[in-house]
């Protein structure tokens, strides 16, 4: 029926390595670029004002990074699986207010138990997202945009305009928010622990690798027998749980909690993850890159006032960073594809 024989053709050896090497270099370049940007930014700011690197200022940066970092870990898991979780800031708000309320209403309650309440709230919120997305097959964007407002609405509903001030919270809880080990804030250590755990999970455990597989090629993942819904559910539950933990830490750190806790923070988190090299299309990127992104964002926030820049620029910078990061990824991908295509074109 069809043309039957096959064309003899010179073997195309020798070009196999090129694409991979290029890709590797680009990925490494991303982390390196972030580190260089960080160093440059810190150095410039420090030259402008040497107090920028004082112990207090550094602690401030670490404390602020802690929350972003914690939430960015969960977001990385979700984005790697080609999803997105826009509800994290609302979950944080709900958990912070819930934890503070429980502690204010029951002064005798042990702090860890109260923390468990906050984490539980987060896990439940994450489970709602996960079920709707993984089993209800609602696009992650729609689902978490919806729950962003639902969870935030719940906080406002519960708070009813009231706020919980530091005076109503137990001493031990507030102390924990500022306590340090060897000069490093506890909050930061907790965030780093979460980072290491999620990093280990994503790198060295089957369920974690499954998320990369799902984000890389969902149909192939299905054929490979990967249980997609349960993996996605897990990612959203972890994201929610970490946001819940973030809420507890938020309450401990700031002491005063009202219904707007963490409002708008989801943009910072998305920015940290995307700037850190986690592809918004899923399948690639690491939680350590996201951590660098989170650190960079916080440093920018803290450096702007030191450098005499209007702090109102902060939000615009976040937006610009998101766009620059995805545009850069796209351009790099085009270059790689073009170089692969060019090599194929040599055959004639």
Partner 1 sequence: MAASRPNPEDHAPGSRTPEGRAAPEEHGSETPHDDRPPPPVVALRDVWKSYGAVAALRGARIELHAGEAHALVGENGAGKSTLIKVLAGVRQPDRGVLELDGAATEFKSPQDARAAGVAVIHQEPALFPDLSVAENVFAGRQPRGRFGRIDEHAMRERARALLARLGVPLDPRRPARGLSIADQQIVEIAKAVSLETRALVMDEPTAALSGPEVDRLFSVVNALRAEGTAVLFVSHRFAEVTALCQRVTVLRDGAHVSTGPLAETTVDQLVARMVGREPDALFVRPGKQRPPGEVVLEVEGLSRAGAFRDVGFRVRAGEIVALAGLVGAGRSEVARAVFGVDRRDAGRVTVAGRALPNGRPRAAMAAGLALVPEDRRQQGLVLAASVQRNATLPRARQLSRFGFLVGGAERRAAREWATRLRTRYGDLDDPVGTLSGGNQQKVVLAKWLATGPRVLIVDEPTRGIDIGTKAEVHRLIAQLAADGVAILLISSELPEVLGMADRVLVMREGRLVADLPRETADEERVIRAATGQEAPA
Partner 2 sequence: MSTEAPSRATRAPLRDTLRLPRRLAGWDAAVVVLTVLTLVVASGTVEEFGTTRNATFLILDLAPVLLLALPMTLIVVSGEIDLSVASTVGLTSALMGELWAAGMPLETIIPLAVLAGAVLGAFNGLLVTVLGLPSLAVTIGTLALYRGLAYVLLGDTAVADFAREYTRWTIGSLGGGWVPNVVPPILLLVTVFAVVLHATPVGRSLFAMGANDTAAAFSGIPVERTKFWLYVIAGAVAGLVGAYWTLRYSTARADNAEGLELTVVAAVLLGGVSIYGGRGTLLGVVAGVVLLSSLQNALRLAKVSADALTVVTGTLLILSVLLPNVTAALRARLARRAARAVPPPRGPEPPPPGTRSPAPEPTRRDGTP
* Binding positions for partner 2, rule: CB under 8 A: 84, 132, 136-139, 141-143, 145-150, 152-154, 156-157, 160, 267, 270-271, 274, 280-281, 310, 312-320, 322-323, 326-327, 330-331
**Whole-angstrom Cα distance, residue 67 to residue 59?**
13
User: Which residue in 161, 146, 155 sits closest to 94, CA to CA?
Assistant: 155
Restricted to residues 170-199, the positions that interact with partner 1 (CB under 8 A) are none
Is 216 an interacting residue with respect to partner 1 (CB under 8 A)?
yes
Name which of 340, 293, 333 is nearest 317 in CA terms: 293
Q: Which of 28, 51, 106, 205 binds partner 1 (CB under 8 A)?
A: 205
Q: Which does 216 bind (CB under 5 to 8 A by kind): partner 1, partner 2, none?
A: partner 1
The verdict on 344 binding partner 1 (CB under 8 A) reads yes
- Residue 204 touching partner 1 (CB under 8 A): yes
- State in angstroms the smallest separation of the CB of 199 from partner 2: 24
By a kind-dependent CB cut-off of 5 to 8 A, residue 47 interacts, out of partner 1, partner 2, none, with: none
Cα(96)–Cα(289) distance, rounded to whole angstroms? 27
Taking the complex as a whole, the smallest distance from the CB of residue 194 to partner 2 amounts, in Å, to: 24
Question: Which residue's CB is nearer to partner 1, number 59 or number 343?
Answer: 343
Which of partner 1, partner 2, none interacts with 312 (beta carbon under 5 to 8 A by kind)? partner 2
Stretch that binds partner 1, among 90-98, 156-164, 215-223, 253-261 (CB under 8 A): 215-223
* Length of the chain as a residue count: 348
Which residues in 13-52 contact partner 1 (CB under 8 A)? Answer: 16-17, 19-20, 23
Angle at 283 between CA 280 and CA 288, to 5 degrees: 80
Instruction: Show Cβ contacts of residue 202 under 8 Å, excluding neighbours closer than 6 positions.
Output: 76, 77, 80, 208, 209, 211, 212, 286, 287
Write the burial class of residue 5 (CB in 10 Å: 0-12 exposed, 13-18 middle, 19+ buried).
exposed
Which residue, 26, 29, 30, is CA-closest to 18? 26
Distance separating alpha carbons of residues 235 and 237, to the nearest angstrom: 5
Binding interface with partner 1 (CB under 8 A): 1-12, 16-17, 19-20, 23, 200, 204-206, 209-210, 212-213, 215-217, 219-226, 279, 283-284, 336, 340-342, 344-345, 347-348
């Amino acid at each position: 029926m069809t043309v039957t024989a096959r064309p003899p053709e010179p073997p195309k050896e020798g070009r196999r390595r090129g694409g991979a090497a290029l890709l590797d270099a680009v990925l490494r370049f991303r982390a390196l670029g972030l580190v260089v940007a960080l160093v440059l930014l810190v150095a410039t700011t420090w030259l402008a004002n040497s107090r920028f690197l004082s112990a207090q200022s550094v602690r401030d940066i670490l404390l602020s990074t802690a929350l972003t970092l914690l939430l960015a870990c969960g977001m990385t898991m979700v984005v790697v699986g080609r999803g997105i979780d826009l509800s994290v800031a609302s979950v944080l708000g709900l958990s912070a207010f819930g934890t503070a309320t429980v502690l204010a209403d029951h002064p005798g309650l042990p702090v860890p138990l109260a923390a468990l309440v906050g984490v539980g709230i987060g896990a439940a919120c994450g489970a709602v997202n996960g079920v709707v997305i993984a089993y209800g097959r609602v696009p992650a964007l729609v689902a978490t945009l919806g729950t962003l407002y639902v969870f935030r609405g719940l906080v406002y509903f519960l708070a009813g305009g009231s706020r919980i001030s530091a005076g109503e919270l137990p001493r031990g809880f507030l102390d924990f928010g500022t306590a340090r080990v060897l000069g490093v804030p506890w909050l930061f250590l907790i965030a780093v622990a979460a980072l290491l755990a999620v990093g280990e999970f994503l790198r060295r455990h089957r369920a974690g690798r499954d998320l990369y597989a799902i984000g890389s090629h969902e149909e192939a993942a299905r054929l490979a027998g990967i249980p997609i819904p349960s993996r996605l559910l897990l990612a959203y539950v972890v994201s929610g749980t970490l946001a819940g933990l973030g809420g507890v830490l938020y309450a401990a750190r700031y002491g005063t909690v009202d219904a707007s806790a963490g409002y708008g923070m989801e943009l910072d988190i998305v920015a940290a993850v995307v700037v850190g090299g986690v592809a918004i299309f899923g399948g690639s990127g690491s939680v350590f890159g996201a951590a660098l992104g989170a650190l960079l964002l916080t440093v920018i926030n803290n450096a702007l006032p030191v450098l005499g820049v209007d702090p109102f620029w902060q939000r615009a910078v976040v937006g610009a960073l998101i766009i620059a990061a995805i545009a850069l990824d796209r351009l790099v991908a085009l270059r790689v594809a073009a170089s692969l295509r060019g090599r194929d074109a040599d055959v004639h």
